[in-house]
Structure 1
């Protein structure tokens, strides 16, 4: 092949300098068009096949069973309340009908606008809790203007004044948790004989097994966090359990206030996402007695952090996230208790509930989750 050298050859090759970048841009655009996300589930091989203590599936049929249909744990005169933060964004009542129709997403037999699918996810969050832990209650912390209209048993909406903008949502969530714990601490002084434990979670989780055993099996912690073997972000803030005693609530409140202080001083650039997790990790890691090597093993452990007794629970069981592609991770533990449909996995959460409500088998539903392919995520 002749090389382009000299002025004549340079002038001959000059058009290629302008043409090639344009050609690559067109190819990139074509690839993006072809990689459009599918609007339905795409099933593939379930990760973890053949591994011990992992869910084994044949298609979407579970070979080994994970959970008993009625595994509700009694903790006497104690109860559990799930607490989540939820606010409606961009929900102007003057939204044009055409704008709504152009934004619809269909899941099963239902079509949702952005606001409607957010509400659908919130309702599915409640559905799973009420099926797996029917004696528990749900408290939704929201802003002063969102009209959630949640007319459901054992569900309460509690407006808390704060800034619920998307840009500061994670910061506001910590502030709302602290405000909630302050009110509960005041109320506790007027109550006798009954204790309500609290589990603060994102609203995109599915509780698939009873969580009462946390408070029953581990009696000395004030708050519990979930961890994973991730050097940059070892803690996930989507699940925080608080013991409902006066000491537990006080210690948890003080701990979260420290997290908020670190968040506000060090991680405001990440206030929309991840800032709370980075602040959580900083508070834990800065304790001189803490050994971060404990994060490498998916085993429960207890540590004293700044005056609080903190229980560390492995994400693999208490905050498991569906894989983003076939073969990722090492499958699903048989004793998984919480599935977190974070990020763009929201469709899968709705699909999972539709499947479970049709067939009533939690193990088969988990096979559906485990076998789902990345291409189906669209919101």
Structure 2
């Protein structure tokens, strides 16, 4: 009898922990399942639908923009109102996919900025318009040329803005590749125009359409007389060159040399980096062409100072991104603030809302330094574009 009682107690004692912990185990499993379901929602909440101001980087550092909120405490080293005999044209590639601006009805994904609501196509058009607006403020005598797919259905009614259709493959996966092809095709046309006789020289600045020119860039062509092509660099071992800003001197020799250089980049891009054709392939190809040249010293990318190098017969002027291609969300510049001599702000990736908000801010208070404080204080937050 005692053996049976002991055996019964033993079974009870062994079973008791399981009975006690089973509800807790189920609760933990349920919590884990709920957290797994909620995880995608957390990822969606990483981007904001309004500007979020933080502390402006670079406070107290010399030669950096100093801000108190959105008020600048010092002035930039502006080169605006500098006269240049030759003309300057900004060139960008832009296309509209699948539908026209007039017919798109995508209210489910509308974005509200200020008093305006934008669907997906209208957002792209708004960024393009702000790109043009900044150029017309900083360099009012310059023109803007938009290289586009002939099938794109959009129009712009702005002075000194021209659409330039170029046949090609403008799919999203091949757009970066097509951009280089469009640049080459455009330069070939300009070479033909030069061959027909001397005329006024026009310099060309090829850029992404998500940049804001905040100062006159004419000094590049005046102060540096011996280059054919301009590239911007940063202290990044894998991707030292950014393709969002490329300038070409407007002489026949420079246009020819720039075309040959870009043809080499296109060849490397097509043969080595097609797996990165949607993004970064052009920058990787640029870096390969430059760094593979026997005499090139890549350690020069570590110092933010302009330098010139002959790359396969093309005289390339390298300008630091921190001044001519400053990006709020990445690169060493964000930790050290914004230089007082910044000329171009590049709103890469999720910064498109910040670009539009910056223009709206500038329209209400046209003080360039205050607008730059807004960008600096907002630049490390991801927004909903």
Q: TM-score, normalised by structure 1?
A: 0.91
Of the candidates 319, 329, 334, which is equivalent to residue 340 of structure 2?
334
For residues 194 and 95 of structure 1, do their structure 2 counterparts lie closer, same or farther at Cα, with a shift above 3 Å needed? closer
- Which residue is 1:378 aligned to? 384
For residues 152 and 29 of structure 1, do their structure 2 counterparts lie closer, same or farther at Cα, with a shift above 3 Å needed? same
Of the candidates 104, 114, 136, which is equivalent to residue 142 of structure 2?
136
Give me the whole-angstrom Cα distance separating, in 2, the residues matched to 1:249 and 1:51: 40
What SS class does the counterpart of residue 302 from structure 1 fall into? Answer: strand
- Which residue is 2:200 aligned to? 194
RMSD: 2.5
Q: How does 1:316-331 map to 2 (within 5 A)?
A: 316-323=322-329, 328-331=334-337
Q: Provide Cα deviations, 1:127-173, integer angstroms capped at 9, x if missing partner.
A: 00001000100000000111221121100000000000000010000
1:346 partnered with 2:337:
no
Structure with bigger gyration radius:
2
The number of residue pairs the alignment matches comes to 369
- Which residue is 2:82 aligned to? 73
Of the candidates 285, 296, 308, which is equivalent to residue 290 of structure 1?
296
Of the candidates 54, 68, 83, which is equivalent to residue 64 of structure 2?
54
- Which residue is 2:178 aligned to? 172
Q: How does 1:1-379 map to 2 (within 5 A)?
A: 23-30=31-38, 32-34=40-42, 35-66=45-76, 68=78, 71-76=80-85, 78-91=86-99, 97=105, 100-323=106-329, 328-372=334-378, 374-375=380-381, 377-379=383-385
Q: Provide Cα deviations, 1:222-249, integer angstroms capped at 9, x if missing partner.
A: 0000000001100000000000100100
What SS class does the counterpart of residue 82 from structure 1 fall into? Answer: strand
For residues 22 and 211 of structure 1, do their structure 2 counterparts lie closer, same or farther at Cα, with a shift above 3 Å needed? farther
Give the superposition deviation at 1:39. 1.1
What SS class does the counterpart of residue 264 from structure 2 fall into? Answer: helix
Give me the whole-angstrom Cα distance separating, in 2, the residues matched to 1:283 and 1:7: 72
Give the superposition deviation at 1:300. 0.3
For residues 252 and 13 of structure 1, do their structure 2 counterparts lie closer, same or farther at Cα, with a shift above 3 Å needed? farther
Give me the whole-angstrom Cα distance separating, in 2, the residues matched to 1:20 and 1:271: 45
Higher mean C-alpha displacement, 302-311 vs 142-151: 142-151
What SS class does the counterpart of residue 257 from structure 1 fall into? Answer: helix
Q: Is the 8 A contact 1:67 1:362 kept in 2?
A: no
Q: Is the 8 A contact 1:324 1:373 kept in 2?
A: no
Give me the whole-angstrom Cα distance separating, in 1, the residues matched to 2:215 and 2:320: 15
What SS class does the counterpart of residue 226 from structure 1 fall into? Answer: strand
Give me the whole-angstrom Cα distance separating, in 2, the residues matched to 1:63 and 1:311: 33
Q: TM-score, normalised by structure 2?
A: 0.90
Q: Is the 8 A contact 1:227 1:313 kept in 2?
A: yes
Give me the whole-angstrom Cα distance separating, in 1, the residues matched to 2:28 and 2:156: 57
Q: Provide Cα deviations, 1:101-129, integer angstroms capped at 9, x if missing partner.
A: 10100011100000001000000000000
Give me the whole-angstrom Cα distance separating, in 2, the residues matched to 1:96 and 1:365: 32
Give me the whole-angstrom Cα distance separating, in 2, the residues matched to 1:373 and 1:143: 32
- Which residue is 1:3 aligned to? none
Give the superposition deviation at 1:192. 2.1
For residues 10 and 60 of structure 1, do their structure 2 counterparts lie closer, same or farther at Cα, with a shift above 3 Å needed? same
Q: Provide Cα deviations, 1:49-84, integer angstroms capped at 9, x if missing partner.
A: 00011000000000001155x8222121x1100000
For residues 28 and 330 of structure 1, do their structure 2 counterparts lie closer, same or farther at Cα, with a shift above 3 Å needed? farther
Give the superposition deviation at 1:24. 3.2
Question: What residue ranges of structure 1 are gaps of 5+ in the alignment?
Answer: 1-5
Give me the whole-angstrom Cα distance separating, in 2, the residues matched to 1:75 and 1:168: 37
Give me the whole-angstrom Cα distance separating, in 2, the residues matched to 1:125 and 1:92: 20
Q: Provide Cα deviations, 1:268-314, integer angstroms capped at 9, x if missing partner.
A: 00000000000000000100110100000000000000110000000
